[in-house]
Structure 1
Amino acid sequence: MSFRNTRHERRNSMSPEQIQGLVSQGYAIVIMEDTVLKLDTWMKSHPGGEKAILHQVGKDATVEINAFHNPTTRAVMQRYQIGTVQLPWKNLTPPIQTMNLQSSDEADQSLVVDDCEQRVVKDLGFPERPEKRVESDHPASLGRSTTHVVDNGARQPLSHIDVQTRETIDLKCAHYPAVDAGTQKIIIDRYQVLEEELHARGIYDCNYSAYAFEAARCAFLFGLMLVALKHGWLVLSGIFMGFFWQQLVFAAHDAGHNGITHDYRIDSLIAMTIANHLGGLSMGWWKQSHNIHHIVTNEPEHDPDIQHLPFFAISSEFFGSIYSTYYERIMQHTNMSKYFLPYQAYYYYLILALGRFNLYALSWEYLIRGQGPRQGPAWWHRWYEISGQLFFWTWFGYYLVYKGIPTGSGRLVFVLTSHMVTMPLHVQFTLSHFAMDTKNLGPQESFPQKMLRSTMDIDCPPWLDFFHGGLQFQAVHHLFPRLPRHNLRAASKLVQQFCREVEIPYAMYGFVDGNKAVLSRLDEIGGQVAIMEKCRRVLAEAHQS
């Protein structure tokens, strides 16, 4: 088939078989409303990165496209139309998500370890595994398997830990609507009505006066930092510096989602200036990573925001050799991760306190390697960001830290304090996802259900919104990424009503309870690692004897 974009060919009616054939040949085919888009050319200049599109290949991505793009961008996408398709469309699994994640050697090894696990968990007081088999193909029935699960027609043994994980999945999935076309269509239709209501009520309108207050607050914090630094109060100065960065991140986040002016070029300039020139972080890297996170939220193989081996694992899927489609490498469960993970609940806050240093490294890698688009409207972003990095490390690294603080120990105190103070921000974002479901229920699950299943909101009084930046409403934000941050609280009431109507649980925890839920998940996964390692030691000792 020719892909010349003539008016006649754009209106060609295409069969599902034709579209599946194009997808199987490697073309980036995406359905938007009733049109078939071939986005191979656009991917190269897509500011959000190629992978954000690859995770939508073969799917009706109308909801996702509308959530992330304004009408102007959606009109541009229509230029890549090659035909039409009769709705409803049955989603295909995007090819990027179809890698075989477990080698035969690992499967064979699980046969050996399984018997040992059964003995060890019995010694530790865990209940013994009953002997049953899968009776249903519905995702919610996965937890009912205790010895075998059907996967692509082959039966593979499950360890006791796998069984526990699937039982947890069963309990969680049972609370959500079925993943069938009819049910999910009802959810999507009601979600679109909700979005129209948000527009009608003006909740999509930006509150520019709120940004004036935020700018004043940031200037005040920066001034306090300079005053404290002048008097040699390095710890206090570092605290104000960290608070300054924390408040900046919120505005950069809004601009990165085109949520301030809703103009891509203006918001991109605002976001890059705040992130690079004032914060030393790459907005291009953030957008590329963050967009993927929003699309495949909490999926171990695909979401970079939960891929933190060897220090963190929030799913037993990380115990195997998972291929990260984002980093394009196998994430090995190495001896280092086996050593650290049993203690992850104990060093959780410490690692997050040092998280900003990791963001620097990721930003530099992104800019040095030129991982962003090199053509299209974002071709110049890399060079603007590099200039911002040079500016940041000149004013902060050279003048403020090196020239402004006379001693090496003093510089270390100031840098560590200022960076560790930003820890609550990292905690807040992980709270919204680490304790939530990590299961991929397949391509038929709707965008709104997936976002609500994998994301929680954190409850707090309105007067604390400035501290959380309004982003404690992460579930609402994931449903409507371009919604201005200051309006998320107002939108949450309508989202709760929507959840009641479509019978999707709306997860909201208090800040303390949210922390408890995350620590509980980390401790649970860490305990599973400890059991597996004890099994291996038992097997090794038995082999030696």
Structure 2
Amino acid sequence: MGKLADRILSRRQIENLIADGKNVIIYDSKVLSVNAWMPYHPGGDKAILHVVGRDATDEINCLHSKEAVQRMQSFVIGRIEGLWDNFKPPIQGGIFRKLGSGNDEASDSTDHELDQPNVPAEISRSPSPSSVSSDDGFLHESGVRHRGHKPLSSASSMTSVDDASPIFDPEAITRRKVAEDLAVYPRVDDATQRKIALKYRELEKRIEQEGLYECNYWAYGRECLRYSMLLAVCIWGLSSGWYMTAAVALGCFWHQLVFSAHDAGHIAITHNYQVDSCIGIFIADFLGGLSIGWWKRNHNVHHIVTNDPEHDPDIEHLPFFAISHRFFGNLFSTYYERILPYDAFARVVVPLQHYLYYPILCFGRFNLYRLSWEHLILGKGPRKGEAAWHRWLEIVGQVFFWIWFGYFLVYKTLPTNWDRFVFVMISHVVTMPLHVQITLSHFSMSTADLGLKESFAQKMLRTSMDVDCPEWLDFFHGGLQFQAIHHLYPRIPRHNLRRTQKLVIEFCKEVGIPYAIYGFYDGNKEIIGRLEEVAKQARIMAACQASMTQKGEYGSF
């Protein structure tokens, strides 16, 4: 193994391995072939597939403990010299050549020409953030980003739906969105992004030295006290005939529980994989009826390809929501492995999505039940290794949940079917703010692709935003208000995220990355603004299609 790990592999050799079906990733200049690990990976196979052919050093470090990273050394098959130029992973459409294919003499750079940001030549070289005027509503001296919405009427790619000849040009919209990001964020070149990556790693060392990875168990003790009080109010309400009060208390109980399940899913409480996994299963499955295994598989992909319409399941909500015009084209989801059809129902709902956003989220928990059971029944989680038995424990937890909640609480305790219906609806609708909190930090942020050279740190900060709130209100947001911080360092217990935020703001100022933060009210305005923007695009596209149909012209957008 020693000789194998020390051999130098060229770029073409690594490309050949991937073309031959090997899942090869780069970590700290080492080449790892992880096919044998795929069935065992607790975070699911999709998360690995999105870093094939890439330098995944930062992704691996942020999502894994040192012990897990050490175990990965057994998959080392060689090393590289110098900096690595990322391939586009096969799951994202990357094409790889085998040795002897007749193209071996081709330049290594040619296979990436199409992977660069798709923008006009005159704007492909973006200015540094320091040269962007603060009057444009994007960047201020503090390094904190407050983004305003630009009116769609100013876009060359579209005209108003009231115009006689509406125009909808999705490629022009894509180029404009990329151009807007390139005008604000640091240059997407090797030197700039390498500097950001090194500063990001230095910050991680400082965070560790300051003990921010260490869990404050007293804080979780206070959390458990809050959970117990809410559950006690629910039981008291049921025993006293105050069924609606009990329903609200139960909804609040579920809302608060999710925050600890989130920490456990990231192994951020005890930092012991099995212990935190069992905590997460007990909270999510036994008490909440949701699969932590489903959440892990979904959420790990989200942390790697954040806000990518084709790959991030957390923004793939057709037919109800579309946060990018790209969803209008029957987009293929690599996570769900199927086309997300922009069908007749979506054509009705999406143009109204900014009005329907809050009402639809009231029913979000019901969809999570469906996704949880689909994950467990189909066995989409690991079937081998240390995580394989979790599926069966989760199924036990699901049965337990529906016995205590569905049978004993709803069916046996409540006297009439109407009471049961109202109780279920209220207890589930009360959790709606949680779904707002989850979508708040991403729906209004960039969905543009800036190419393969963009560093992990910049991508996370470009696609995630934080919510500003007083410290006494942290319990309500449960750490989800620090999404940008969390995406950079997901294994930090949420009670330490406020302290970490100060360090990240310093980092953003140093490297010139805008740090996006809004108040809860303004953040909601941003989401509604984005949904309204895309809804207007949908109406324009519909008007274009109607106009083409009238003229006897046919085409796709």
TM (norm. structure 1) is 0.88
Per the alignment, residue 7 of structure 1 pairs with 2
The one-letter code sitting in structure 2 at the alignment partner of 1:423 is M
Q: Deviations over 1:472-500 (max 9, x none)?
A: 00000000010110011110011001000
Q: How far has the Cα of 1:214 moved from its partner? A: 0.5
Partner Cα separation in structure 2 for residue 173 and residue 491 of structure 1: 27
Does structure 1 residue 349 correspond to structure 2 residue 358? yes
**Mapping 1:388-427, distance limit 5 Å:** 388-427=397-436
Does structure 1 residue 271 correspond to structure 2 residue 280? yes
Per the alignment, residue 533 of structure 1 pairs with 542
The one-letter code sitting in structure 1 at the alignment partner of 2:229 is F
Per the alignment, residue 67 of structure 1 pairs with 62
Question: RMSD between aligned alpha carbons?
Answer: 1.9
Secondary structure of the structure 2 residue equivalent to 1:497: helix
Question: Could you tell me which of 75, 82, 86 is aligned with 1:91?
Answer: 86
Does structure 1 residue 260 correspond to structure 2 residue 269? yes
The one-letter code sitting in structure 1 at the alignment partner of 2:485 is V
The one-letter code sitting in structure 1 at the alignment partner of 2:69 is R
Q: How far has the Cα of 1:7 moved from its partner? A: 2.2
Partner Cα separation in structure 1 for residue 385 and residue 177 of structure 2: 45
Q: Deviations over 1:31-66 (max 9, x none)?
A: 110210000010111010001000000011111101
Question: Could you tell me which of 313, 316, 319 is aligned with 1:304?
Answer: 313
Per the alignment, residue 71 of structure 2 pairs with 76
The one-letter code sitting in structure 2 at the alignment partner of 1:246 is H
Structure 2: unaligned runs, 5 residues or longer: 96-118, 128-149, 158-166
Per the alignment, residue 42 of structure 1 pairs with 37
Per the alignment, residue 377 of structure 1 pairs with 386
CA contact (8 A) 1:252 1:271 kept: yes
Question: Could you tell me which of 206, 231, 236 is aligned with 2:240?
Answer: 231
Q: How far has the Cα of 1:170 moved from its partner? A: 1.5
User: Percent identical across equivalent pairs?
Assistant: 52
CA contact (8 A) 1:162 1:316 kept: no
Partner Cα separation in structure 2 for residue 99 and residue 91 of structure 1: 11
Change (3 A) 1:498 1:226: same
Secondary structure of the structure 1 residue equivalent to 2:214: coil
Q: How far has the Cα of 1:538 moved from its partner? A: 2.5
Change (3 A) 1:139 1:319: farther
Question: Could you tell me which of 9, 28, 38 is aligned with 1:33?
Answer: 28
Q: How far has the Cα of 1:535 moved from its partner? A: 2.0
Q: How far has the Cα of 1:136 moved from its partner? A: 4.9
Q: How far has the Cα of 1:139 moved from its partner? A: 7.8
Q: Deviations over 1:72-131 (max 9, x none)?
A: 10111110111111121111111111179xxxxxxxxxxxxxxxxxxxxxxxxxxxxxxx
Change (3 A) 1:400 1:55: same
Does structure 1 residue 492 correspond to structure 2 residue 501? yes
Per the alignment, residue 107 of structure 1 pairs with none
Q: How far has the Cα of 1:23 moved from its partner? A: 1.5
CA contact (8 A) 2:42 2:381 kept: yes
Does structure 1 residue 54 correspond to structure 2 residue 54? no
CA contact (8 A) 1:139 1:441 kept: no
Partner Cα separation in structure 2 for residue 43 and residue 136 of structure 1: 43
Per the alignment, residue 514 of structure 2 pairs with 505
Q: Deviations over 1:486-539 (max 9, x none)?
A: 011110011001000000000000000000000000001001111111222233
Secondary structure of the structure 1 residue equivalent to 2:481: coil
Q: How far has the Cα of 1:236 moved from its partner? A: 1.3
Per the alignment, residue 199 of structure 2 pairs with 190
The one-letter code sitting in structure 2 at the alignment partner of 1:284 is G
Q: How far has the Cα of 1:406 moved from its partner? A: 1.2
Question: Could you tell me which of 164, 176, 182 is aligned with 1:167?
Answer: 176
Structure possessing the higher relative contact order (Cα contacts under 8 Å, 6 or more residues apart): 2
Structure 1: unaligned runs, 5 residues or longer: 1-5, 101-132, 148-157
Name the count of aligned residue pairs.
496
The one-letter code sitting in structure 2 at the alignment partner of 1:208 is Y
Question: Could you tell me which of 425, 433, 437 is aligned with 1:428?
Answer: 437
Per the alignment, residue 151 of structure 1 pairs with none
Does structure 1 residue 478 correspond to structure 2 residue 473? no
Partner Cα separation in structure 1 for residue 168 and residue 495 of structure 2: 47
Question: Could you tell me which of 436, 439, 443 is aligned with 2:448?
Answer: 439
CA contact (8 A) 1:140 1:169 kept: no
CA contact (8 A) 2:168 2:544 kept: no
Per the alignment, residue 452 of structure 1 pairs with 461
Per the alignment, residue 289 of structure 1 pairs with 298
Q: How far has the Cα of 1:471 moved from its partner? A: 1.7
Q: How far has the Cα of 1:11 moved from its partner? A: 1.5
CA contact (8 A) 1:134 1:145 kept: no
CA contact (8 A) 2:52 2:90 kept: yes
The one-letter code sitting in structure 2 at the alignment partner of 1:336 is F
Change (3 A) 1:298 1:534: same
Secondary structure of the structure 2 residue equivalent to 1:433: coil
Q: Deviations over 1:344-375 (max 9, x none)?
A: 00010111110000000000000001111110
Per the alignment, residue 465 of structure 1 pairs with 474
Q: How far has the Cα of 1:12 moved from its partner? A: 1.1
CA contact (8 A) 1:59 1:92 kept: yes
Secondary structure of the structure 1 residue equivalent to 2:441: helix
Q: How far has the Cα of 1:232 moved from its partner? A: 1.8
Secondary structure of the structure 2 residue equivalent to 1:509: strand
Q: How far has the Cα of 1:168 moved from its partner? A: 3.6
Q: How far has the Cα of 1:164 moved from its partner? A: 4.0
Change (3 A) 1:137 1:30: farther
Does structure 1 residue 138 correspond to structure 2 residue 139? no
Change (3 A) 1:99 1:89: closer
CA contact (8 A) 2:178 2:450 kept: no
The one-letter code sitting in structure 1 at the alignment partner of 2:296 is K
Secondary structure of the structure 2 residue equivalent to 1:175: coil
Secondary structure of the structure 2 residue equivalent to 1:23: helix
